[in-house]
Structure 1
Amino acid sequence: MAEITKLQIAELDFDTIKGNLKDYFGSQTEFTDHNFDGSAISVLLDILAYNTHYNAYYLNMLASESFLDSAQLRDSVVTKASMLGYTPRSARGSKANVNLTITPGDAPASITIDRFTQFTSTVNGTAYTFCTANSVVITPSSGVYSADTVELSQGIPLTFKYTADTANTEQKFLLPNANTDTDTLTVTIQESVTDTNTAVYALATDITTVNATSNVYFMSEHTDGQFRVQFGDGVLGRKPISGNIIILKSLVTEGTNTNGANVFSAASTVGGYSTVAVVTANSAVGGLDKESVESIKFNAPKNYETQNRAVTTGDYKKIVEDSVSGLDTVAVWGGQDDAVPKYGTVYVSAKPSGADALSTSQKALITSSLADYNIVAISPEVVDPDLINLIFSLTVKYDSRKTTKASGVIAANVIDTIQDYKTNNLNKFGSIFRYSVLSKLIDNTDTSLLGNLLTLTAKKGITPSTTANNSYTISFNNAIYNPSATYEGAVTSSAFAYTDSAGTTYSTSYLDDLNGVMRIYYLSGSDKLIIANSVGTVTYSNGHITLTSFMPDSFSGSTLDFTITPATNDLIPIRNQLFTVSNTNITVTMQDDADTGTTTTSASATGTSDSVTTGTATGSSTTY
């Protein structure tokens, strides 16, 4: 009887399968004298191996596509997400606000601008269509027909009509374009071709409020990325009858391509008139591409957790991240956790891409994105990021014998390293500044670097009133270096003009501190003369600075800046604080340990020499 040898079934690549088959057949006495590398038998073994390999691959893919985490095909991911009650987000058209002034040839009582009235704008040389999001009725004021902050949504309006046939169980009502903005979708059912009575249907968002006569529709993603509109079955929602005409109208958008559009013009007549002045109130923001497979896999389980409501801070954060584009990072905290507790409020902060503060339209988008989910007792409040500017004074030691690069090139590379660290490590709320991590990255910038000494200070600005005495709080939320009660200048400010209680005006004065008390002074030569001895307090342990009844006459720039030296080299943000670094706040001094020269050159961050001074040093150093 032939000896039975076990097949190695766990090895499923083609060559191993074929080799295992050869070993198996070769161990059988019936095939002892056969040459398994001969052409005929080799082909038969190839067929068996290919068949096994294909079946193994298909079964593996079948198992993988059955789970949300491992699925790769969009249709599989969408199907699994739907089981969690999640519908992938469609593309979203960017939104802008414009002020319109129409000059009619007559004097109508009012002018109606229809929904989807078209305007055009050009971004990067490509023209795009924007449409009014809603109809607008303008009545004249002093003979002028104008409307402010009219909302425009990017996209081309398209209408699709279907005739319902209840006998056709395979009938589907599809939005054929994969870039349809479902937020702009209107669904209307006309009774029949001869009966023009219509009913508007709304998207069902809460089935507990839906009954057999509710005019609602349901939305899901179909194959090829198209969206499908479904109606009720007569129990959950009204069921269409044969002969009903289904009318689907929406915008087809270009997603993120149109963000930043800021010049608009009417594509044709507006409200029936051709003389139209268009002034941009807010540039276009909020455009989104269709949700990616990875995003669906990430968001579907979290959507299941939130259950279409905003209760926890995590709920608010997810809704904003899903609904509003162009945001680098989002932070949410309850009013009870704010520096000054405000119960019944939830704070939402976000840093927009390419800017330090949110625009009015972005704040409106965030607020509107929460409107359908927010519970009644809680009021969301959108605030800008709280930026803390880090200032680096850096001495870098290097050996010029180990490089062919000029010191200015190495200094520029060091600055690039710092900016890369900011981008990769500080661009999200909650990101901690780690001194040792940055120092190590700087040392690795170039093989000629021997070490570095980084001196860190931090700066924040306020915009004080120059017409009224007010109180201000500047919070670093990190301890301030203050070694003793007699130490002066743990906090310093930029210059400002100030008039004291006696009416004397000082064109250049400053703020600093002594033993927890803030004061105002001016310089007479190198002497510090106090103008006001107590204008606030500073708490060194937590970095809180308070000014009371403070009113400068004027100050340079857009803000009055306060600078501190932190008590520790690592800085930890709270709530919506973000650490940021600009090239103008980086000073790099290159010190060549291979040289014994005596020339020190001071230069700007860009490497342009400002001045040259001579002194004695162990090695030549150049400041950039």
Structure 2
Amino acid sequence: MAANTYLKVTEVDFADIKSNLKTYLKSQTQFNDYDFDGSNMSVLLDVLAYNTHYNAFYINMLGNEMFLDTAQQRDSVVSRAKELGYLTRSARGATANVGITFTGVANNVSEFTLPKNTSFTTSINDRTYTYVTPEANIIKNVANTFTQAISITEGAPLQHQFAVSDASPVKYVLPNENIDTRSIRVTVKESASSNANTSYTQATNIREVNEKSAVYYLQETHDKQYEVLFGTGSLGKPVKDGNIVVIDYRVCNGTKTNGANVFSIDSISISPTYTSASLSVNSVARGGVELESVDSIKFNAPRNYKIQNRAVVAKDFERIILNENTNIASAVAYGGEDASPAVHGKVYIAVKPQGELIPTITLKDEIKNSIKDRTMLGIDPVIIDPSYLYVVPTINCFYDTLKSSTSTSAVQTLIRDAMTSFSNTNLEQFGKKLRYSRFVRNLDNVDDAILNNEATLQMQKRFVPSTTTASLVNILFHNAVQKSSISSTAFTYNNFIAYLDDDGLGNIRVFRYNSAKQKVAIEANAGTIDYTTGEIKINSFVVTAYDGIEIKVNADPVSKDIVPVREQIIIISTEDSTITTTGEVGD
């Protein structure tokens, strides 16, 4: 028994394992004074050490794959996530909105149906991609014109059929990668010769499922494929021997067609005859995403388990909406008690669509319907528009003429492009603050020839005034404003070209310029301003006309750092910015 004190099992490296084996054998009386290095025993020890090392490595990797945090293989991560009730997000095809116009249709046709999966194409980098109508569309006759805005989504439609057999059970696995799970439609036919069928919908809330519910379940399985499952009689209506399971879906290309803006008609099959059909693009293709990554699954699965498919606190709403809507770039939610004024019993949710400033009414309704069953009783979710706070920089750029032969206009272009990039990367989402030092540092790093930048920032709010009815205008900067810093673009007021400013005492004025370029007040007390909160109220405001599409109101912030509040999003307005350059010989 004493010899076992030489047995060490903690080392896993090859050399250490072999050394331990030697030490152990040397402790045995049968191998006293034996030369382990110069004999054939050395080869046997190599084999034993290699086998031990190999098994230690294998068991270690096997142990790693058993836990979500340490698993490396996608199939292992997906398997662990399924135990937490998490469905991985599939790849999703980009969606565009186009207007389609048919000519030559008889005027006595009141309407007709453009079928589901009507095919369109787009070409990117010499590769052709297929877009289809995800649902059927009704084209109505409006003043003998057949025009309709429709959504088209990237992806090739496919169908698979499975025969249900008790004798030879099968798994309903869709044998393709990059399936857009939003497109899955499941129909169960009574038999191969029967026309009777039942449409099954995906179960998203198990609390509403019983033994008669025609629902299916979905999960990712091996090799990035998806599997459809059916209930066994308690949590969903089961399929029966002899049934035929028909699954329609699309295989997409993820992000590859984001930004597509030229489409052509591939094939259209409609019942009324027509002469021609043409397309116009209302919005470019957006929202295409790749299959959820391993890192994303590891992050989202435990958090999804934590909220249990319920929306209780504000972050629950944000996480559900962003996870289920890839066409949403950013979302924020807050309780009505945090609103101004406070409104109890409501939760406000602001969403920013991909590539757009304001969500459509349709998108708002879709989001509200998707979360209403997961919201606590007595809480009313309200989808609101984002509020945009524009920042207008004035930049004085100093650059070394000895280090750069770049023209002044080229330096200005570099600075302007850097501001656009900074806005896209660091701002333009809810909760993203503009840090002055980071902004200036970003401009300093644009080119080695740039010595330094002096930056002054103005805040800007925009509104569309009424030209018919006097109404209250409420402007919220949500940042402290310097006194006597309010300015605006021009508008017509009481037959004068007029502007807005403040008197430094908390009053908003409407004024004009006389021939000597001096300010003349038209309304000395048109409204009020709270310099601490940055709130402006203009009473009974109505104009005859205004420059551009809206009135822009500027204010100087007290702090160089600008902070968004709740549904506010900060955007750098490069079109209103001023950039001057000064060339000098560097130090």
After TM superposition, the score normalised by the length of structure 2 is 0.85
In 2, the alpha carbon distance for the partners of 1:117 and 1:180 equals: 19
Name the residue aligned to 2:163: 163
Equivalent residues in 2 for 1:575-590 (5 A)?
Answer: 575-584=566-575, 585=577, 587=579, 590=582
Deviations 1:68-122 (A, max 9, x none): 1222211111111111111112222333444444444695575333322323334
- Cα distance between partner residues in 1 of 2:545 and 2:151: 38
Pick from 483, 496, 499 the counterpart of residue 506 of structure 1.
496
Secondary structure, aligned partner of 2:389: strand
Q: Which residue of 2 aligns with 1:569?
A: 560
Q: Deviations over 1:448-504 (max 9, x none)?
A: 88876543332222222233322211111111223xxxxxx23222333322xxxxx
Q: How does 1:108-119 map to 2 (within 5 A)?
A: 111-119=112-120
The structure-2 alpha-carbon separation of the partners of 1:263 and 1:81, relative to structure 1 and needing over 3 Å to count, comes to: same
Contact 2:140 2:148 in 1 (8 A): no
Determine if contact 1:18/1:45 at 8 Å carries over to the other structure: yes
Give 1:347 shift: 2.9
Instruction: Tell whether 2:311 aligns with 1:321.
Output: no
Hey, what's the Cα distance between the residues in 2 that align with 1:279 and 1:444?
A: 42
Could you say which residue in structure 2 is the equivalent of 1:497? 492
TM-aligned CA distance change 1:251 to 1:390, over 3 Å = same
Q: Match for residue 205 of structure 2? A: 206
Cα offset, 1:147, TM superposition: 6.0
Alignment of structure 1 residues 26-105 onto 2, 5 Å: 30=31, 32=33, 34=35, 36=37, 40=40, 43-102=43-102, 103-104=104-105
How far 1:271 moved relative to its partner? 1.7
* 1:520 aligned partner: 510
Cα separation, partners in 2 of 1:59 and 1:423, compared to 1, 3 Å: farther
CA contact (8 A) 1:98 1:149 kept: yes
1:364-513 map, 5 Å: 366-367=367-368, 369-370=370-371, 373=374, 378-394=379-395, 422=423, 425-438=426-439, 454-482=455-483, 489-499=484-494, 505-513=495-503
What is the CA–CA distance in structure 2 between the aligned matches of 1:411 and 1:280, rounded to whole Å?
Answer: 33
CA contact 2:389–2:461 (8 Å) conserved in 1: yes
Q: Is the 8 A contact 1:268 1:274 kept in 2?
A: no
Secondary structure of the residue that 2:56 maps to in structure 1?
helix
Residue 531 of structure 1 is matched in structure 2 by: 522
Q: State whether residues 96 and 152 of structure 2, in contact with CA within 8 Å, keep that contact through their aligned partners in structure 1.
A: yes
Equivalences for 1:10-409 in 2 at 5 Å? 10-18=10-18, 30=31, 32=33, 34=35, 36=37, 40=40, 43-102=43-102, 103-104=104-105, 111-123=112-124, 125-138=126-139, 140=141, 143-144=144-145, 146=146, 148-169=148-169, 171-272=170-271, 273=273, 275=275, 276-358=277-359, 363=364, 366-367=367-368, 369-370=370-371, 373=374, 378-394=379-395
Would you say the 8 A contact 2:22–2:36 is kept in 1? no
Secondary structure of the corresponding residue to residue 514 of structure 1: coil
Distance 1:355 1:106, change over 3 A: closer
Summarize deviations over 1:412-468 as a string: whole Å, max 9, x none: 777676666545543442223333455566677788888765433322222222333
Paired letter, 2:132: C
- 301-310 vs 216-225, which deviates more? 301-310
Matches of 2:125 and 2:327, distance apart in 1: 18
Deviations 1:52-71 (A, max 9, x none): 33222222222221111222
Aligned partner of residue 87 in structure 1, secondary structure: coil
1:312-366 deviation digits (Å, cap 9, x = unpaired)? 3222211221122254432122334223444554333234455544466755664
Q: Identify which range, 378-387 or 570-579, moves more after superposition.
A: 378-387
Deviation at 1:556, TM superposition (A): 2.5
Q: Distance in 1 between matches of 2:443 and 2:131?
A: 47
Distance 1:188 1:398, change over 3 A: closer
Deviates most, 467-476 or 223-232 = 467-476
> Using the alignment, how far apart are the partners of 1:495 and 1:366 within structure 2?
39
* 1:156-214 deviations in Å (ceiling 9; x for gaps): 22111111111235x21111112222222221122222333222222222333333333
- Match of 1:621? none
Q: How far apart, in 1, do the equivalents of 2:116 and 2:474 lie?
A: 47
Q: 2 CA distance for matches of 1:336 and 1:125? A: 54
Distance in 2 (alpha carbons) for counterparts of 1:191 and 1:469: 66
Note closer, same or farther for the CA distance 1:556–1:303 as it changes in structure 2 (3 Å cut): same
Q: In the aligned structure 2, how far is the partner of 1:328 from the partner of 1:172? A: 36
Task: Look up the SS of the partner of 2:323 in the other structure.
Answer: helix
Q: Give the C-alpha shift of residue 259 in structure 1.
A: 3.1
Distance 2:391 2:332 in 1: 21
3-state DSSP of counterpart to 1:316: helix
CA offset digits 1:236-264 (Å, max 9, x no partner): 32222222111111222222223334444
Name the SS for the 2:267 alignment partner.
coil
Determine if contact 1:395/1:591 at 8 Å carries over to the other structure: no
- d(CA) in 2 for partners of 1:416, 1:108: 52
Report the counterpart of residue 604 of structure 1 in structure 2: none
Query: Structure 1, unaligned stretches of length 5 or more?
Result: 483-488, 500-504, 596-624
Compared CA separation, residues 109 and 509, structure 1 to 2 (3 A): closer
Distance in 2 (alpha carbons) for counterparts of 1:427 and 1:26: 71
The CA distance in 1 between the partners of 2:142 and 2:513, in whole Å, is 57
Task: Supply the distance in 2 between the matched residues of 1:332 and 1:583 (Cα, whole angstroms).
Answer: 29
* 8 Å Cα contact 2:404/2:449 also seen in 1: no
Supply the AA of the counterpart residue of 1:205.
T
Contact kept, 8 Å, 1:415 with 1:586, in 2: the verdict is no
Between the aligned partners of 2:488 and 2:70, the Cα distance in structure 1 is 55
- The answer to whether the Cα contact below 8 Å between 2:401 and 2:583 also exists between their aligned partners in 1 is no
Alpha-carbon distance in 1 for matches of 2:450, 2:113: 69
Matched-pair contact (CA < 8 Å) for 1:407–1:590: no
The 1:412–1:21 alpha-carbon spacing in structure 2 relative to 1, beyond 3 Å, is farther
Identical-pair percentage:
36
State the 1:411 CA deviation: 7.7
Higher relative contact order (CA 8 A, sep 6+): 2
**Contact 1:120 1:266 survives alignment (8 Å):** yes
How far apart, CA to CA, are the structure 1 residues paired with 2:256 and 2:244? Answer: 34
Residue deviations 1:289-326 (CA, integer Å, cap 9, x gap): 22222222122122222322334322221122112225
Q: Say if 1:376 and 1:153 are closer, same or farther in 2 by CA, change over 3 A.
A: farther
